[in-house]
Amino acid sequence: MNYISTRGQIEPVGFKDAVMMGLATDGGLLLPERVPTLSAATLDSWRELSYQQLAFELISLYATDIPADDLQDLINRSYATFDNREITPVVHEDGVYILELFHGPTLAFKDVALQLLGNLFAYLLKERGEKMNIVGATSGDTGSAAIYGVRGKENINIFILHPHLKTSPIQALQMTTVTDANVHNIAAKGTFDDCQNIVKSLFNDLPFKEKYALGAVNSINWARVLAQVVYYFYAWFRVTDNGGANVVFSVPTGNFGDIFAGYIAKRMGLPVSKLLLATNENNILTRFINDGDYSLGDVVPTVSPSMDIQLASNFERYLFYLFDENPARVRDAFVELTQTGRIAFSSNELARVREEFLSRSVNQAETLETIAAFHKATGYLLDPHTAVGVRAAQELVPADATPVCLATAHPAKFGEAVEQATGIAPPFPQALAGIDRLPSRCAVLEADRTAIKAFIEENAL
């Protein structure tokens, strides 16, 4: 399988090169040349597979240049760190299915892809005899998952930018208390969008990217999206086993990576009726789907801080398909966005968007109300991001459909919001025990490309 850019200006590359390239060298995002489609018989034959076996079947369709034994070994090692045998179990509470994606070492869905990506990087660097400096941006969860994925690994340095004082306190501690020599945390005085823009601009500085062998852990890296496709299949098997039909996945959305993985699963032939895109007050994607209004606003802080994002990077991948795989139209759209702060869509394009997606923006009061009501009804504590998706599902999923809500983080990561809603501080799982007493290290810098570039140059491998 080869990979092409949404901007159409690179020669196709294989899977291994795509993983190492991260952001395409023409500034676009990498996608497979074609998305494989699965027959009903193949789907049926996968129903009883374990998570790791299913991951192997799906990922091997795309990672065709990795020998089968090596791939299965990478997958097995990556999920050995999860605390649930099922990796991403599905539970049924108060009329909705909850797909729990927080059983990895840093208690958020990012672990599902980043444990694998960390091992994949180590494998590829060893094979090539190379080293890498990872540079990533985080609103709180990608950062710690990526750090845990590569801490202490040979030939890898990691630089993670997070918005200073804009993550939850636990999220910040999960990053800054990892003091291995190869880990560099940078708290940038700005928003997540500022951090992501700086990271993308460093990747677009091709001499810098090459000199320091930059690697990407954000969902700009295709391997991230690919690993996330697996749990849509896994969950679909679990709920349809129980007679569920007309499955709707409700996905709390920020950078559009998670829901884009669902879109790929649907494109591969997984019988999903709709994808429900749930946002907090940072709702540009909801405005786009419901009103055709894709115009950038200011980022506002919310109780679901990991989704405090305006410019969702994976949206570009979706636009490639919406524009009938025409890279020139993608390039024009991004010129329009840079010049005017918006992208205009035709009524035909918007009709196609609405065939695939439903959307709802859930505000702070509704999020807290949902955490409280769900807890009262079931005893189950939702984290605020998951609550955004649950509320959207409760309001928009039709009675004859089966709602599956992605639980993207453990409630203990956002204890303040959960306590505000329910009066109960979520108990700390073992992974967080004593975290507030550990030594920490972090550089606080201006959200300024030059300052951050200089910091990386000083500390790079």
- Catalog residues that contact ligand PLP under the rule CB under 6 A: 108, 139-141, 219, 252-259, 306-307, 385, 408-409
Please report which residue ranges of 85-177 form alpha helices under DSSP H: 110-128, 141-150, 169-176
Site membership for ligand LJ64HWYM, residue 408 (CB under 6 A): no
By CB under 6 A, the residues from 291 to 310 that bind ligand LJ64HWYM are 306
We find the least distance from the C-beta atom of residue 309 to ligand PLP, in angstroms, to be 6
We find the least distance from the C-beta atom of residue 255 to ligand PLP, in angstroms, to be 3
Site membership for ligand LJ64HWYM, residue 28 (CB under 6 A): no
Of 110, 200, 209, 266, catalytic: 110
Q: Among residues 257 and 262, whose Cβ is nearest to ligand LJ64HWYM?
A: 257
Length, in residues, of the chain: 461
Site membership for ligand LJ64HWYM, residue 255 (CB under 6 A): yes
**Interface mask (CB under 6 A) for ligand LJ64HWYM, residues 356-395, using x and -?**
----------------------------------------
Residues linked to residue 444 through DSSP beta bridges, in sequence order:
187
How many Cβ atoms are within 10 Å of 53's Cβ, its own excluded?
14
> Does the annotation mark 110 as catalytic?
yes
Interaction partner, residue 100 (ligand LJ64HWYM, ligand PLP, none; CB < 5-8 Å by kind) = none
Residue 56 CA to residue 71 CA, distance in Å, equals: 7
Residue 395 CA to residue 242 CA, distance in Å, equals: 23
User: For the chain, how far is it from start to end, CA to CA, in angstroms?
Assistant: 31
Residue 116 contacts by C-beta under 8 Å, 6 or more apart in sequence?
A: 74, 75, 78, 223, 227
- Per the CB < 8 A criterion, the answer to whether 250 and 276 are in contact is yes
We find the least distance from the C-beta atom of residue 342 to ligand PLP, in angstroms, to be 20
Q: Among residues 139 and 273, whose Cβ is nearest to ligand LJ64HWYM?
A: 139
- Per the CB < 8 A criterion, the answer to whether 185 and 452 are in contact is no
**DSSP for 339-384?**
HHSEE---HHHHHHHHHHEEEEE--HHHHHHHHHHHHHHHSPPPPH
Q: Among residues 375 and 385, whose Cβ is nearest to ligand LJ64HWYM?
A: 385
We find the least distance from the C-beta atom of residue 383 to ligand PLP, in angstroms, to be 7
- Tell me the three state secondary structure of residue 39: coil
Site membership for ligand LJ64HWYM, residue 280 (CB under 6 A): no
- Per the CB < 8 A criterion, the answer to whether 281 and 359 are in contact is no
Amino acid identity of residue 237, one-letter, is F
Site membership for ligand LJ64HWYM, residue 316 (CB under 6 A): no
Interacting span for ligand LJ64HWYM (CB under 6 A) from 122-130, 134-142, 333-341, 369-377: 134-142
Site membership for ligand LJ64HWYM, residue 106 (CB under 6 A): no
Active-site amino acid positions? 110
Could you list the residues that contact ligand LJ64HWYM (CB under 6 A)? 138-143, 218-219, 254-255, 257, 306, 313
